[in-house]
Structure 1
């Protein structure tokens, strides 16, 4: 199955520039109005001040009967649109009043064609992290840190800012905003737990609140608990602990009994596929039973969405595709409604569940907002990057092949732009996805990290493998990498690469490999195992799993992947066997290292360690650090620099 993405205008093809890639406007966060008539969404672009992305809020008719209308001017970070229960007004967050500090805003939709005037609803010092409009139409639940005290301000002004570890990160608390008076009341019954998500029972009943023991990812994601908060009294009922990486609590009702479901890593595991976990909250006390509603499924849930008048909807990763499912209350199983070749994300549904909106991308089309009836078909509402149609793209093919042990695998191949398989072999770059619980999907991806088409338009073939450890093939497929990273996933990648060489697509003398995050680890791992690659790029990659477990923000999760920690004794350790740093003496491949200076996910020390080891053994390499950047690159100048360096590196060595 082959298709070009997106289809160019034959008589007028433009060259792809780095500026075009980083300046693309991208739709995000669709939200269907409760009555199903309108869809609000954000559009993010790099045209804002200081070279940073900014965003505007748009609204469109769900049936496509009217053109999309921009509600805000895009000079600030206007984000996270959500509807009032009566569908007459739209909330969103914005930092228009103070750069970097989000406050809650509201727009009344009066049908005007001009950019709407927004009403500021909060002036909470420190800003609003998230929010949830409540069913009474009079209240909004806010998630926000404590406002700084006079003592806090004094210490900051005087530089008296010593941090006590474990108490250095501010806790996000649940607060209730009265829209009539502007008063904000804090819910005290949750103590000092860090609130990460909140949703209300559709009948106007209690709030379901998901919290962590601490704002730190480690141990926060392993200490999640669910609570019920009664709006009238503020009383809190603790439902007890929930799974690792718990997220997306949703209510649903069957035969008069309310259920509360959420997503979490498959119970009993730190590494593995997400699952949908369901419970019936008791009248008092903690939850008695939790049920895994997706046990044994080969597809992996990616999103779980509450529907006020029916059972929840969910998106599932299915290999290279994405499917829409609905929970069957009778069987307590998920039933597939539709499937698209590519990706669906940001699912949102009307009050009745009859209308939905979603971000959709296929190999032929970049991500845009689509809406329609739950049973389909879906209509494209947005068209944020029409300029892409003027570029001649590489043909994207779906690949299916077998691992060395016979396990079925999938992936993608992007051919050089304007070329066919018959014109091979080509210089080929293998791009490994991050995670490892992630996947390459048959979508149109064009970013600094997913820059396959950027290389294809420069004459390279690009191989996008989906090795073990990723999503889309069930729990066992994902969990097998625990304590064994670089094992089966590496031979899975080799199997696909060998196939492309055998078929005459890849030139065996002109192979490169790259990746970001876990993909960066895999690129560093690969060149320590073989000399087949003539060039490599590691972006924000892990070189030492022991160091990563001790200093990375995921901590115990990284220890589960690497297999051990440095405090397990004097060694030898499993993580030493699984770390690229242990094999640097074998490396002969030139390496480009890219890393954000402020990365807390994979700290900069990982790249420094790898760089020093390469320097010690005289390996050709270049080490680039991006100031102010975290685990990804967000500043426009840095994105441009990375794209140009990536292409120049392969042009030089391949």
Structure 2
């Protein structure tokens, strides 16, 4: 796979299914270098064995949901200003009709049980901000008064002056006559000329105040909308999130989950019998106990939330919920895979779909289940459980010459098993080796097709990557083992895995090695090169490099570093790559994005400056207009340029033909 082959990486979004199970709809998207954006449309496939067909022809249509009667599909499409709005289209296709007109676009949405209304969330800008006054540039807006412990968010910017609220709106008649642009005409003095009607109904706002609301799900009787509350804290970060049921008739709200329950809720669903269930983490009495979060399925009862699954046995931290009769579908993350399981309300679990798959979404009607997934040979497909694949989007990627990594496990210096993969080019080698380190740290490398690895292998490198202690997918103890001890067993795990991989395969040249990683992977890469000088080069990307300044600059700085490295100055220094930058000898490329608020740009610039001050061969590459998600969701041209810069760096520091 070459850098430009990212255009073959078709991802399949969370599917939706007709109530009678007769068809499924999903969004497929891919990077397009010419358009310099992700492009995609909705697809429909009749079940059980229909041929998928493109249902819409927008630029980036996404997030479809079939109406309760199966006749219509609501989805998100950019409006004339590029803001995401809800549109509604006939389930068989046709011209979509715009349903919402939120100034900053919508967040989440759902159908009412009778299909007559839509509930949605949307950010409400403070008067005078974010283009509300035409011609008023953002640089001329009034200053922002900030009194809370957080104020911005990666990929969004400032958040305090545009809280997200809940709305309901009538669904437009998709068979009605469209609105037309009024022709210019002389109007009587004092009479405003008519304007084109963009949407047929006015949205009714259900929530008020400075707090934001996420998720908008109708209760079974349609009388309430259930939403999660996120309020900016005045003094100390608290990850717990109340859940409210807000009456549609304006009659107030009631609390389903209190802040005292200490749950950080990710998703809310309503079962057919009206039962409310949530996916959430127990954040403890501190409200910020998030390291290796114990994500579980909870059912909301009169006495409060009741935990259904055991997070020590089943990690539900990378998925969502689907009601299935009296049961629920969830995804379980383990050893580089995400499998689909069915959970009863008593907590009994049975596997629905497993093997070498990474489930990314699912939907069900009756006993018919569809799932979106990735595999070692495909970035995204839709399958009908029990029947097999419904799509073959991966054929384009397979044509680029992808390799299937070998899955291996080695014992570290203390006997701890370290699990991961080795990918290498065809032939006998020996090949120069690049150690890749993932972000998170509570995340995992997996079995799915990964462009980062494939591009390096195509260029002639063997790639070694693993899930060290601190990663997800191996239990809570594994994930929490680096709390207050970053740069200890995680460091030894990646080094021991590299050594064992090289020792086990003569095609890997242990005398020619490089190391690279992003986010937490950037942290550990910077740590590695300060403590091990064997590497010909390193790439430190969007790294968490100085816990001290991270506290006051990152959008998660109010709790992330506190929980991982602590607040004691000596402990922070002991785990800080910046504190050890004077030990680095390895040539280092620092990559970062201007709008990265997760690991802010200052982390990179200060680290790069320190490398230069200590005489290290260092370069820095800064991408304009991008945030922390550059490598996964950035502009396609920037993603290609990033790959080109990475390959150029390795060609200079770790050339393929050098067998010294």
TM-score, structure 2 normalization: 0.86
Correspondence list, 1:570-649, <5 A: 571=569, 573-633=570-630, 634-649=634-649
Contact preservation (8 Å) 1:271, 1:560: no
Distance in structure 2 (CA, Å) of the matches to 1:182 and 1:434: 45
2:91 is equivalent to residue 109 of structure 1: yes
**CA distance 1:415–1:607, shift in 2 (3 Å):** same
Residue 53 of structure 1 aligns to a residue whose secondary structure is: strand
Match of 2:117 among 139, 144, 154: 139
Distance in structure 2 (CA, Å) of the matches to 1:470 and 1:333: 26
Correspondence list, 1:113-128, <5 A: 116-128=94-106
Once the two structures are TM-superposed, the CA of residue 120 in structure 1 deviates from its matched residue by 0.9
> 2:190: which partner in 1?
none
Once the two structures are TM-superposed, the CA of residue 514 in structure 1 deviates from its matched residue by 0.8
> 1:247: which partner in 2?
266
Distance in structure 1 (CA, Å) of the matches to 2:540 and 2:532: 16
> 2:166: which partner in 1?
174
Once the two structures are TM-superposed, the CA of residue 613 in structure 1 deviates from its matched residue by 0.6
> 1:3: which partner in 2?
none
> 1:44: which partner in 2?
29
Distance in structure 1 (CA, Å) of the matches to 2:512 and 2:282: 39
Residue 98 of structure 1 aligns to a residue whose secondary structure is: coil
| Structure 1 residues 207-240: Cα deviation after superposition (integer angstroms, max 9, x where no partner) | 3311110399x97761411112233454311230
Once the two structures are TM-superposed, the CA of residue 390 in structure 1 deviates from its matched residue by 2.1
**CA distance 1:554–1:646, shift in 2 (3 Å):** same
Correspondence list, 1:107-256, <5 A: 107-110=89-92, 116-146=94-124, 149=127, 153=133, 156-157=136-137, 159-165=140-146, 166=148, 168-179=160-171, 182-188=201-207, 191-202=209-220, 204=222, 206-214=224-232, 222-238=239-255, 239-241=257-259, 242-243=261-262, 245-252=264-271
Contact preservation (8 Å) 1:545, 1:562: no
> 2:480: which partner in 1?
479
Once the two structures are TM-superposed, the CA of residue 147 in structure 1 deviates from its matched residue by 5.6
Contact preservation (8 Å) 1:273, 1:300: no
Contact preservation (8 Å) 1:31, 1:81: yes
Residue 572 of structure 2 aligns to a residue whose secondary structure is: helix
> 1:457: which partner in 2?
458
Once the two structures are TM-superposed, the CA of residue 356 in structure 1 deviates from its matched residue by 2.1
Once the two structures are TM-superposed, the CA of residue 394 in structure 1 deviates from its matched residue by 2.8
Match of 2:378 among 365, 375, 400: 365
> 1:72: which partner in 2?
56
Once the two structures are TM-superposed, the CA of residue 466 in structure 1 deviates from its matched residue by 0.4
| Structure 1 residues 253-295: Cα deviation after superposition (integer angstroms, max 9, x where no partner) | 7xx783533222564622113421524343xxxx545436214
2:446 is equivalent to residue 441 of structure 1: yes
Distance in structure 1 (CA, Å) of the matches to 2:65 and 2:318: 21
Match of 2:402 among 393, 396, 401: 393
Contact preservation (8 Å) 1:320, 1:410: no
Once the two structures are TM-superposed, the CA of residue 649 in structure 1 deviates from its matched residue by 1.3
Unaligned runs of 5+ in 2: 149-158, 173-199, 655-660
**CA distance 1:550–1:505, shift in 2 (3 Å):** farther
Once the two structures are TM-superposed, the CA of residue 499 in structure 1 deviates from its matched residue by 0.6
> 2:532: which partner in 1?
530
Contact preservation (8 Å) 2:2, 2:400: no
Distance in structure 1 (CA, Å) of the matches to 2:485 and 2:437: 17
Match of 1:406 among 407, 412, 415: 415
Once the two structures are TM-superposed, the CA of residue 300 in structure 1 deviates from its matched residue by 4.5
Contact preservation (8 Å) 1:133, 1:139: yes
Distance in structure 2 (CA, Å) of the matches to 1:604 and 1:510: 31
Unaligned runs of 5+ in 1: 1-15
> 1:332: which partner in 2?
347
Distance in structure 2 (CA, Å) of the matches to 1:87 and 1:221: 40
Once the two structures are TM-superposed, the CA of residue 617 in structure 1 deviates from its matched residue by 0.7
Contact preservation (8 Å) 2:296, 2:315: no
Query: After alignment, is 313-322 or 218-227 more displaced?
Result: 218-227
**CA distance 1:153–1:257, shift in 2 (3 Å):** closer
Once the two structures are TM-superposed, the CA of residue 647 in structure 1 deviates from its matched residue by 1.3
Distance in structure 1 (CA, Å) of the matches to 2:278 and 2:99: 31
Once the two structures are TM-superposed, the CA of residue 393 in structure 1 deviates from its matched residue by 2.6
Cα RMSD (Å): 2.6
Once the two structures are TM-superposed, the CA of residue 637 in structure 1 deviates from its matched residue by 2.0
Correspondence list, 1:271-420, <5 A: 271-282=291-302, 288=304, 290-291=306-307, 293-297=309-313, 299-307=315-323, 309-329=325-345, 331-350=346-365, 352=366, 354-372=367-385, 376-377=386-387, 379-416=388-425, 418-419=426-427
Query: After alignment, is 612-621 or 156-165 more displaced?
Result: 156-165
**CA distance 1:430–1:89, shift in 2 (3 Å):** same
Contact preservation (8 Å) 2:550, 2:603: yes
TM-score, structure 1 normalization: 0.86
| Structure 1 residues 576-621: Cα deviation after superposition (integer angstroms, max 9, x where no partner) | 1111111111111111111110110110000001101100011011
**CA distance 1:337–1:357, shift in 2 (3 Å):** closer
> 1:506: which partner in 2?
508
Query: After alignment, is 514-523 or 163-172 more displaced?
Result: 163-172
> 1:547: which partner in 2?
549
Once the two structures are TM-superposed, the CA of residue 60 in structure 1 deviates from its matched residue by 1.5
Contact preservation (8 Å) 1:171, 1:214: no
Contact preservation (8 Å) 1:124, 1:147: no
Distance in structure 1 (CA, Å) of the matches to 2:108 and 2:5: 32
> 2:182: which partner in 1?
none
**CA distance 1:593–1:22, shift in 2 (3 Å):** farther
Contact preservation (8 Å) 2:216, 2:225: yes
Contact preservation (8 Å) 1:43, 1:56: yes
Provide the aligned length of Structure 1 versus Structure 2.
604
Distance in structure 2 (CA, Å) of the matches to 1:83 and 1:553: 35
Distance in structure 2 (CA, Å) of the matches to 1:277 and 1:288: 13
